Amino acid sequence: PLSFFSLAPWVPVVGLEIHAQISSNSKLFSGSQVQFAAPPNSLVSFFDASLPGTLPVLNRRCVEAAVMTGLALNCSINKKSLFDRKHYFYADLPAGYQITQQRVPIAVNGSLSYSLCIDNKMSQMVTKTVRIKQIQLEQDSGKSLHDDTRSQTLVDLNRAGVGLMEVVMEPDMCCGEEAAAAVRELQLILQTLGSSQAVMAEGQLRVDANVSVHHPGEPYGVRTEVKNINSMRFLAKAIDYEIQRQIEELENGGTILNETRAFDSKLGCTVPMRDKEGKQDYRFMPEPNLPPLILYDTKSLPANMNHQQVINIDWILERLPDLPSVKRKKLVEQYGILPEHSFTLLNEDGLAEFFESVVKQTQMKPKKVIGWILKDLLSYLKQHSLTVKESPVSSFLLADLLNLLEKKEISSTAAKQVLAELWKGEGKTPLEIVKEQKLELLQDQKELEQICQAVIDGQENE
Amino acid sequence: AALNHGLRSQVSAALKEGRVAPTELCQRCLALIKSTKFLNAYITVAEETALKQAEESEERYKRGQPLGILDGIPVAVKDNFNTAGIETTCASNMLKGYISPYNATVVQKLLDQGAVLLGKTNLDEFAMGSGSTDGVFGPVRNPWSYSKQYKEKAVPKSHSEDEESNWVITGGSSGGSAAAVSSFTCFAALGSDTGGSTRNPAAHCGVVGLKPTYGLISRHGLIPLVNSMDVPGILTRCVDDAAVLLGSLAGHDPKDSTTIQDDFKPFELPNLTDVSKLSIGIPKEYHAPGLSSEILALWSKAADLFKNAGAKVVEVSLPHTRYSIVCYHVLCTAEVASNMARFDGLEYGHRSDMKDSTESMYAATRREGFNDVVRGRILSGNYFLLKQNYEKYFVKAQKVRRLIANDFMKVFKSGVDILLTPTTLSDAAPYTEFIQEDNRTRSAQDDILTQAANMAGLPAINVPTALSERGLPVGLQFIGRSFQEKQLLTVAKWFEKQVQFPVIQLEEVKRHDSDVFQHQKSASFS
Whether B98 has a pLDDT exceeding 60, the answer reads: yes
Residue B173 near residue B192 (C-beta atoms within 8 A): yes
- Same-domain pairing of A328 and A289: no
Indicate whether B318 belongs to any domain.
yes
- In-domain check, residue B495: yes
* Residue B159 pLDDT greater than 60, yes or no: no
| Mean predicted lDDT score pLDDT of chain B | 93
User: Which segments of B318-371 does DSSP mark as H helices, in order?
Assistant: 324-339, 358-369
**pLDDT score recorded for residue A215:** 93
Does residue B219 form part of some domain? yes
Is B524 within a domain?
no
With a pLDDT cut of 90, the percent of chain B lying above it is: 86
Check whether residue A183 and residue A102 sit in a common domain.
yes
The confidence score (pLDDT) of residue A245 equals 95
Candidate list B197, B248, B380, B524, residue with the active-site label:
B197
Are A399 and A264 within one domain? no
Nearest CA in chain B to A88: B341
Contact flag A94-B342 (C-beta cutoff 8 Å)? yes
Domain that holds residue B197: 2-151+168-323+398-499
Q: Residue A429: inside a domain, yes or no?
A: yes
What span, in angstroms and rounded, lies between the C-alpha atoms of A164 and A292?
18
Does some domain include residue A454? no
Helix (H) or strand (E) holding B481: none
SS3 B462: strand
- DSSP 8-state secondary structure symbol assigned to residue A160: T
Assess if residue A458 is contained within a domain: no
The total number of structural domains in chain B stands at 1
In a domain, B337, yes or no: no
Using the predicted structure, report yes or no on whether residue B13 has a pLDDT greater than 90.
no
The CATH number linked to B81 is: 3.90.1300.10
**pLDDT grade for A218, boundaries at 50, 70 and 90:** very high
Residue A266 maps to a domain: yes
Size of interface A-B (CB pairs under 8 A): 101
Residue B516 has pLDDT above 60, yes or no: no
From residue B135, give the alpha-carbon distance in Å to each of B183, B308, B378: 20, 45, 17
| Cα distance between residue B361 and residue B383, in whole Å | 22
Do A267 and A339 lie in one domain? The reply is: no
Q: Hey, which residues does A254 pair with through a beta bridge?
A: none
Q: Which residues constitute the domain of residue A366?
A: 324-445
Is the complex ipTM more than 0.90?
A: yes
For residue B160, indicate whether it is catalytic. Answer: no
Mean pLDDT of chain A: 91
pLDDT over threshold 80, residue B163: no
Is residue A181 domain-shared with residue A58, that is, in the same domain?
A: yes
Q: Does A51 sit within 8 Å of B101, measured CB to CB?
A: yes
Name the DSSP class of A454. Answer: H
What pLDDT was estimated at residue A1? 65
What residues of A are in contact with residue B256 (Cβ under 8 Å)? 55, 289
Question: How many Cβ atoms are within 10 Å of A304's Cβ, its own excluded?
Answer: 4
In a domain, A127, yes or no: yes
Query: How confident is the model over B110-121, as pLDDT tens digits?
Result: 999 999 999 999
- Disruptive mutation site among A29, A44, A55 for chain B (greatest number of B CBs within 10 Å): A55
Residue B473 belongs to a domain: yes
Active site residue B197: yes
* pLDDT for res A167: 98
A280 plus A353 within the same structural domain: no
Active site residue B130: no
- Mean pLDDT for A418-426 is 86
DSSP one-letter string for B494-509: HHHHHH-PPPP-BHHH
Q: Is residue B134 part of a domain?
A: yes
Query: What's the predicted TM-score (pTM) here?
Result: 0.92
- For residues A184 and A45, membership in a common domain is answered with yes
Report if residue A316 sits inside a domain. Answer: no
Q: Which residues of B163-172 are buried (b: 16+ CB within 10 A; e: fewer)?
A: eeebbbbbbb
Same domain, A291 and A346: no
Task: For residue A319, give the 3-state DSSP assignment.
Answer: coil
A433 part of a folded domain: yes
Instruction: Find, among A30, A76, A82, the residue nearest to A290 by Cα.
Output: A82
Q: Please, what is the end-to-end C-alpha distance for chain B in angstroms? A: 12
Chain A residues near residue B219 by CB distance under 8 angstroms: 55
The answer to whether residues A278 and A329 belong to one domain is: no
Sign of CA dihedral B367, B368, B371, B372: positive
Evaluate if residue B192 carries a pLDDT over 90. Answer: yes
- How does pLDDT run across A136-165, given as a tens digit for each residue? 999 999 999 988 898 888 999 999 999 999
Phi, psi of A21 (to 5 degrees): -75, 130
**Same-domain pairing of A253 and A397:** no
Are the CB atoms for A222 and A255 separated by under 8 Å?
Answer: yes
| Average pLDDT over every residue of A118-124 | 67
Does the pLDDT at position B519 exceed 70? no
| A276 and A355 together in one domain | no
Query: How many independent structural domains does chain A possess?
Result: 2
Q: Which of A69-78, A371-380, B152-161 has the lowest mean pLDDT?
A: B152-161
Residue pLDDT, tens place only, A267-285:
989 998 865 555 789 999 9
Could you report the per-residue pLDDT of A1-22, keeping only the tens digit for each?
A: 655 555 678 999 999 999 999 9
Residues A291 and A356 in one domain: no
Q: Where does residue B502 rank: exposed (0-12), middle (13-18), buried (19+ CB within 10 A)?
A: middle
Contact B68, B113 (CB under 8 A): yes
Within-domain flag for B523: no
Q: What is the CA radius of gyration of chain A?
A: 28
Q: Of A55, A87, A309, which has the smallest distance from its Cβ to B341's Cβ?
A: A87
CB contact under 8 A, B386 and A281: yes
Residues of A in contact with B340 (CB under 8 A): 96
Q: What is the percent of chain A where pLDDT is above 70? A: 96
Q: Please check whether residue A327 touches B, CB under 8 A.
A: no
CA distance A350 to A378: 11
Query: In the 8-state DSSP scheme, what is residue B156?
Result: P
